[in-house]
A = this chain, B = another copy of it.
Amino acid sequence: MAEEPSERATLWAVARRAGVHAATASRALNEATRPLVAPDTIARVLRAARDLNYHPNHAARSLRTQRSMTIGVVIPDITNSLFPPIVRGIEDFLAPAGYVALVANTGRDVDRERVVMREMLARSVEGIVLATARRDYPLLEEPPLRGLPVVLVNRVTDDALFSSVSTDDRLGARLAVAHLLDLGHRRIAHIAGPDSLSTGFGRKSGYLEGMRSAGVSAPASLLVAADSYAEEEGYRCASELLGRRSPFTAILAANDMLALGALRALDEHGFRCPEDYSLVGFNDMPLVDRITPPLTTIRLPQYEAGSEAARLLLDRIRQRDGPVSAVLLAPKLVVRRSTCPPTPV
C-alpha cells in the first residue's frame, strides 16, 4: 500500500500501467486523437492516469508541439486601477481555453517594453496583448515580433496594422461635452491627455467635434495639454487654465487622475466644484464616486475590453491569416455631482 507518487508520473508510467505503448496513451489522453483508439483501451489509460495522478509535462509538450499555451500581456502599470479589470477580462477568457497569461509592467519606458517582449518571445508566447501602444509605434514592426499575433487594447496605433479593442474615445468626449452643453455651459475647457496616445488624441478630437458641431467655439485658450495622466499634471494644467485670462465654467479632463488634480487646483484657488466650475473625468475609477464632489465621468467597459481582446487574440492564433479587426466599445456617461448648470453671472 506504500503509495509513493512523490515523483511526477510520466506518460510512460501511465502507458505501462495500462499495458499499452506511450504513443497510444498519448492518443487516448488527447481529445483530438482519442477517436483513434479503442474504447476499452481509452478507459484503461484514463484510469491509469487518474490512479497515478498524471499531469502532462508542459515543457515537453511545448517542445514537441511548438505551442506554449501562453500569451503575453504588456501593460504600463498594474497599480493603475485602469488595468486590473482589463487583465481579469483577459485571464478569465483565456483560462477556459487552457491558456495562461504572462503579465509584465513596463512603466512608460519603451526600452523596457522591448526587453519584456524579448523575454516573452523567449518563452514562446503565442501572442501578445498590448496596452502600451502609442499612436506612432514602430516597435511593433521590428523583426522580433514578425508574424506574432498581437492585439492592442485600450490604446491603439494610427495605422490599423493590428487588431485592437478600445473604447470610442471621441464618442465618450462628445457625450461629456453634450452633457455640459445641456446643462448650459458654453465656455468649456479641456485638459487633454498626451497627443502621442490614442486616448489623449481621441478624446481631444471628440471634445473639439462636440463643441464645433454644437456651434460653440473651442479656442486654443480653453485647451491645455497634459504631459501624462498624472494627478500632478491635472493640477498644473488646471492652474494654468485659471491663470489665463480666458473665462470658462467647466472642465473636461481626459481622465480621472487629471480631474482629481484639477479638483485640487480649484480647491486651492478657493473655487468650488461644481458651483464655480463643473468638472468631468474619464474612466470612472474606483472611489471617484466617493470623493467630494462625486465625480461625473465617462465609464469604460474595461473588463469587456480585456475579454474581447483575448477573444480576438485567440482567433488570430487559431487562424493566422484572419482579418484585422478594430473593435470599438461604447463608453457611458455617469452623471454625479461634479457637474451642474453654470451659475448666472
Chain A residues with a Cβ under 8 A of chain B: 5-6, 53, 55-60, 62-63, 68, 77-79, 81, 84-85, 87-88, 91, 100-105, 118-119, 121-124, 143-144, 146-147, 260, 285-288, 290-292
Contacts and interface: CB of A to CB of B under 8 A. Distances in A.
Contacts of A291: 287, 290-292
Contact of A6 (B104, B118, B146, B285): B146
A104 B101 CA distance: 9
Contacts of A147: 6
A124 B79 contact: no
A213 B260 CA distance: 42
A126 to B, nearest CB: 12
Contacts of A56: 122
Copies in the complex: 2
B87 A55 contact: no
B68 A78 contact: no
A103 B105 contact: no
B91 A58 contact: no
A102 to B, nearest CB: 6
30 contacts: A6-B146, A6-B147, A53-B143, A55-B121, A56-B122, A57-B63, A58-B68, A58-B124, A59-B60, A59-B63, A60-B63, A77-B88, A78-B84, A78-B87, A78-B88, A79-B85, A79-B88, A81-B286, A84-B84, A91-B105, A100-B102, A100-B119, A100-B123, A285-B287, A286-B287, A287-B287, A290-B291, A290-B292, A291-B291, A292-B292
Contacts of A104: 91
A54 to B, nearest CB: 10
Contacts of A63: 57, 59-60, 63
Contacts of A144: 53
A91 B78 CA distance: 11
